[in-house]
Chains A and B, each alone.
Chain A
Amino acid sequence: MDAFVQALFLGAGYNAALVGIGAALLGFAAGASGTFLFLRKRALVSDAVAHATLPGVGLAFIIMVALGMDGRSLVGLLAGSAVTAGIGLVLVEWMSRKTRLSEDAAIGAVLSVFFGIGIVLLTIIQTMSQGRQAGLEGFLLGSTAGMLFQDAVVIAIGGTLAVAAIFLLRRPMTLVAFDPEYAAASGYDVRKIDLAMMGLVMAVTVIGLKLVGLILIVAMLIIPAVTARFWTEKSDTVVWSAGILGAVSGYVGAAISASAPALPTGPIIVLVSAALFTLSLFFAPARGVAAAVIRRQRFQARVHHRQGLLALARQEPIHDKLTLKVLGRDGLIRPDGVATDAGRAMAAKVARDERRWDVAREVHHDVSLTGRYDGLTPIEDVFTPDEIAQFDDVIGKPTAVEGA
């Protein structure tokens, strides 16, 4: 625990601090850019992009070695990965637009084939004399051990640029994500914006390769966005809160990972992110599961409340346990099931409102008003006091319920 706290405040050594800051920046960029992808309902395109980086890494290594350079230069490897990721992206677009295959098939095809080619290249590299210590497998799951200062700088600059691009492009991207037709009608070039969106995702993927690896970067793009969506209905807020959630996951994940051995950074970051998601899934207000359960229970109680009152008004016996419980709780019946004064008054009101609705349906032919009858909406919310008085004229004066 001490080690964790220490890491949290950048006290776990130089390398751990670098990783932590890098992870937070990357997490922010990934969370924010992933949001557009998620809102556009194309979350898994990122999976294709991520897997398509592998052949680029391999090719870049082979080319750099052939040119007599150090094959492990991070910038070179990332540049290579960006090229093949871009090709993969274009292929997904092309396949789903030009052929009758759906986008998910295109995604799956590109990710598996590019990954396969990448694996072939890795086996070739393993047979090269310089390839044995290349450590390119680290790009599969990320490896932060022995991260150099310049690697961290690459991640930091890349992450900052990505965030800046998101800030500049947030309006058109939000528009396209929510309503591509409207965006097109407003004069935006939807395809270009889509490509920019994907380009951003590609950039984040490439930057994240070193830190979390190509399989798990997908999680950093998708999970914060889905999590943020639970908490707000406003698009701008989703983007930035996804960024913050991503940054927190990245930073806390890196700190946990630095606090003990055998805690790989990438998976820990993803698991922190997944924990935040699970919390939100259950406990977010409005959209969370707990909120939905509470809403449902309240609704149930209201229905039972009303049905119970109607039964009281009609002098019918109530057998349903939940109805008895709800009425008893509200002090409308006594434990032996007999209505209290308050109960009788309320029952009379409910019964009268029911008749008012009947009259309303005859008098008004406006379905937008009478159609709001669902048994739970108070009549006062729909009609003005004047109108209700008019209904009452038709019904006649209130009469006392039996026993009052």
Chain B
Amino acid sequence: MGAEFVQFSLTPILIGILASIACALPGNFLVLRKQALIGDAISHVVLPGIVVAFLITGSVAAFPMLLGAAGAAIVAVILIEAIKRLGNIEPGAAMGVAFTSLFAGGVLLLEQSDTSSVHLDVEHALMGNLESLIWFKAQGWSSLWDAEALAGLPDELIRIAVVCALVTVLTVIFWRPLKISTFDESFAQSLGLPVGAIGFGLVVTAAVAAVAAFDAVGSIIVIAMFICPPAAARLMTNSLERQVAWSLLFAALSAILGYVFAGYGPLWFGAQNAVSAAGMIAAVSGLILALACLFGPYRSRVGVGREEAV
């Protein structure tokens, strides 16, 4: 745990944890509302978003990219809703139509435009580059108090920290309306809560978290973190408060263990090279979910009706 750790591993782990938490937090509500796959849809449409942003601005600067991705996410959400309502199509299929078409458009644009000079490709979008987000200026733990070294922190860390804080604050502020409208929409309506706006706000918040996390860790972790930690947490408890706490713990655990296994795991087996940290973090979150499915105290469904049991 010396200077090398601080320089090469500390920031990726921190970014991984923050990204995981930022996604898992809204993920709790999405899973409970049976909208878990919104995260999947959003992370697919991020690609066309950043390609369009690149074509307009001609640069791969972070801010236009984020704006493009967020715009694409909102377009996708509206498009899904429009297809659902105009065509009277069930949500899953509407989602499948919208995000695959947008993704195909993104890939086509990417192929058509000259992006060979910049680092913008599909694999990068999927896998992220967590390993490369090192803290170059760090000399050791003491750098944490060194203003000059701190200025050299990767931008991704700052951005994801801000977004993570934002998501947390929003969740805390809107806790009660979120909780009520998630569990009992009619009751929320009768209380005069703007149910539609709350739902849309949740999706937009999720989109912002997805986009920020995507920037740092790639879309594969984003989908995994939206679903796996909250789903595992759901099997641990019956209280929403405790579920959220569990999900955050699982998210952080996945990020840390995933990064460690990816970076150091191959060395234990005598291999030379690290494997994809993003992939490993997703795999660890799946392992946690598998354990929760097998041993979670609240894993089974209570009061299953006959027809549901078929």
Contacts and interface: CB of A to CB of B under 8 A. Distances in A.
Given A43-B92, A99-B301, A267-B105, A112 B224 contact: yes
B36 A287 contact: no
Contacts of A30: none
Contacts of A123: 273-276, 279
Contact of B104 (A44, A102, A222, A266): A266
A340 B169 CA distance: 69
Contacts of B40: 44, 47, 108, 111-112
A288 to B, nearest CB: 8
B153 interface: no
B122 A140 contact: yes
Interface string A136-177: 010011000000000000000000000000000000000000
Contacts of A273: 101
Contacts of B36: 102, 104-105, 107-108
Nearest to B85: A289
Interface stretch (B13-21, B107-115, B134-142, B201-209): B107-115
Contact of B97 (A100, A122, A274): A274
A267 B127 CA distance: 20
Given A112-B223, A180-B310, A219-B96, A264 B275 contact: no
A222 B97 CA distance: 7
Contacts of B273: 123, 127
Nearest to A281: B87
Interface in B80-119: 83, 86-90, 92-97, 100-101, 103-105, 107-108, 111-112
Contacts of B126: 115, 119, 140
Contact of A109 (B83, B220, B280, B286): B286
A127 B262 CA distance: 14
Interface in A24-79: 38, 41-44, 46-47
A116 B285 CA distance: 10
A264 B310 contact: no
B5 interface: no
Interface in A249-305: 262-264, 266-268, 270-271, 273-274, 277, 281, 287, 289
Contact of A223 (B101, B112, B298): B101
A36 B179 CA distance: 36
Contacts, number: 223
Interface string B265-295: 0100001111110111111011001000100
A263 B87 CA distance: 30
A215 B103 contact: yes
Interface stretch (B52-60, B155-163, B225-233, B244-252): B225-233
A384 to B, nearest CB: 37
A43 B84 CA distance: 14
A184 B275 CA distance: 47
Contacts of B111: 262-264, 267
A373 interface: no
Contacts of A120: 262, 275-276, 279-280, 283
A216 interface: yes
B21 to A, nearest CB: 16
- Interface core residue of A38, A99, A120, A289 (most chain B CB under 10 Å): A120
Nearest to A284: B87
B299 A99 contact: yes
A52 to B, nearest CB: 11
A124 interface: yes
Interface residues of A, number: 66
Interface string A224-249: 01100110000000000000000000
B261 to A, nearest CB: 9
A309 interface: no
Contact of A43 (B93, B127, B235, B280): B93
Contacts of B103: 215-216, 267, 270
A44 B127 contact: no
B39 interface: yes
A273 B272 CA distance: 45
A68 B105 CA distance: 40
B96 to A, nearest CB: 4
Contacts of A107: 36-37
Q: Which 9 interchain pairs have the tightest Cβ spacing?
A: A116-B282, A113-B286, A119-B279, A219-B100, A270-B104, A112-B224, A108-B227, A274-B101, A120-B279
14 contacts: A100-B234, A105-B227, A111-B40, A111-B223, A113-B289, A116-B278, A116-B279, A120-B280, A140-B122, A223-B96, A226-B97, A270-B101, A277-B101, A287-B88
Interface of A: 38, 41-44, 46-47, 95, 98-102, 104-109, 111-120, 122-124, 127, 137, 140-141, 180-181, 184, 190-191, 215-216, 218-219, 221-223, 225-226, 229-230, 262-264, 266-268, 270-271, 273-274, 277, 281, 287, 289
Interface of B: 31, 34-37, 39-40, 44, 83, 86-90, 92-97, 100-101, 103-105, 107-108, 111-112, 122-123, 126-127, 220-221, 223-224, 226-228, 230-231, 234-235, 262, 266, 271-276, 278-283, 285-286, 289, 293, 296, 298-302, 307, 310
Given A112-B40, A123-B279, A264-B111, 13 more contacts: A44-B92, A44-B95, A107-B36, A108-B231, A112-B227, A116-B286, A190-B310, A222-B96, A266-B104, A270-B101, A271-B101, A274-B101, A277-B97
